[in-house]
Amino acid sequence: MKRLLFVWGACCALLLLACSPKQELKPIRSGEIWPDNQGVHVNAHGGCILYHEGTYYWYGENKSDTTSNAMVGIMCYSSKNLTDWTNEGVALPVEMTDTTSDIIQGCIMERPKVIYNERTRKFVMWFHLELKGQGYLAARSAVAESDTPTGPFRYIGSGRINPGKLPFDMTEEQRALLDTLNVEQYEWDTPAWKEAVVKGLFLKRDLEGGQMARDMQLFVDDDGKAYHIFASEENFTLHIAELSDDFLSHTGKYVRVAPSGSNEAPAIFKKADGTYWMITSGCTGWVPNEARMFSAPSIWGPWTQHPNPCVGPKAELTFGGQSTFVLPIPGKQDAFLFMADIWRPEHPSDARYIWLPIQFKADGTPVVEWMDSWTMEYFN
Ligand code: GAL
């Protein structure tokens, strides 16, 4: 009898389990307010997501209500499911008192990216830094490091990139051409000037002090090597530069991508077939423009341009947004989440987010199709 009762009990328990409703997945509605665990719109713009030991960490610019300058610093939020976000506070605060600090309150800190270094077991953050009161002139990259994903990160320093180094794939002829280029000799925006920009007019100008870097991305490849991808040369040309083993500096090995193509906001991902894909924007400041897309068989190129991957209403304006990151969905092959920002320069903290799954055409080309509402179930 006892045994019968036990079997009956076990059956009931199983039935209950089978019938209990699955936890509802929350819809992702791009462009709307996304409240965090305190009911406040997530304040992590131009950011990235790092998946580490079962948790997603979302880093981004804290934007205030009235200015796009950094008044607080870089934020961190955590989540187990990509829809419920806990505010973990400021991962890298601005400096409040020491006016000699690069990151004194009022500077510009943009597009922070965080990667994990398996060798050093440190979390490394790079971001675009502009010095206080200098507009966008400095075009520096800054680096910080932490033992834990939520920080606080230790600010290490900032500067231009790869001083004294030329792209490793530049031929002898291309190097010789540089000698003929002189910024003073050209009138901005003329055909001759444009040709000179392609040849490396600004590359040469900045050779000694290091290359400019504004909008930027980090990418860790399957072999553990990390790369820094950034809009350089007055935002005309992208650079892809290798980071040192500790991810804290550059090795000096880099290539130029799409010279004079005016690409910003690079977001890069790699498919299982080994193809690298990169979605970028044009250069129109906070105003949205048409996304661009490139692919390459190696991180070093050659990079081939493809048509705009966006499909749907306002596809020619990236749905009103600008690319910021592509998150590979952990544990799934060729599953990627495209992330973009809808900027609100008059009310920066009210900037919104666009998250859409990346789809693939039969020939393997990525497509980003607008969806008013979707859930993470999409990736199952
Ligand atoms: C955008 C860039 C943003 C920010 C803005 C300033 O093109 O992607 O990160 O720098 O310009 O106007």
Pocket probe for ligand 1: among 283, 322, 324, 339, the residue whose CB has the most ligand atoms within 8 Å is 322
Q: Which residue, judged by its Cα, is nearest atom 7 of ligand 1?
A: 285
Using CA positions, which residue lies closest to atom 6 of ligand 1? 285
Q: Tell me how far the alpha carbon of residue 320 lies from the centroid of ligand 1, in angstroms.
A: 14
Who's near 125: CB < 8 A, 6+ residues apart? 59, 74, 91, 92, 112, 113, 114, 143, 144, 145, 146, 153
Using alpha carbons, select from 209, 255, 248 the residue that is nearest to residue 230: 255
Ligand 1 centroid distance, CA of 11 (Å): 60
pLDDT tens readout for residues 290-332: 999 999 999 999 999 999 999 999 999 999 999 999 999 999 9
Res. 17 pLDDT band, cuts 50 70 90: very low
Quote the ligand 1 centre to 110 CA distance (angstroms).
Answer: 8
Q: pTM for the whole thing? A: 0.94
Q: Quickly state the pLDDT bin for 7 (edges 50, 70, 90).
A: low
Ligand 1: nearest atom to the Cα of 110: 9
How many whole angstroms separate alpha carbon 179 and alpha carbon 204? Answer: 8
- CATH homologous superfamily of 36-159 equals Glycosyl hydrolase domain; family 43 (2.115.10.20)
Mean of the per-residue pLDDT values of the chain = 95
Using one digit for the tens of pLDDT, what is the confidence trace for 192-239? 999 999 999 999 999 999 999 999 999 999 999 999 999 999 999 999
Question: Given pLDDT bands bounded at 50, 70 and 90, which one contains residue 378?
Answer: very high
pLDDT range class, residue 24, cuts 50, 70, 90 = confident
pLDDT for 6 equals 54
The residue ranges of every structural domain in the chain are 36-159
Average pLDDT over residues 252-264: 98
DSSP string, 58-81: EEEE---SS-SS-SSEEEEEEESS
Of 21-30, 56-65, 162-171, 194-203, least confident by mean pLDDT is: 21-30
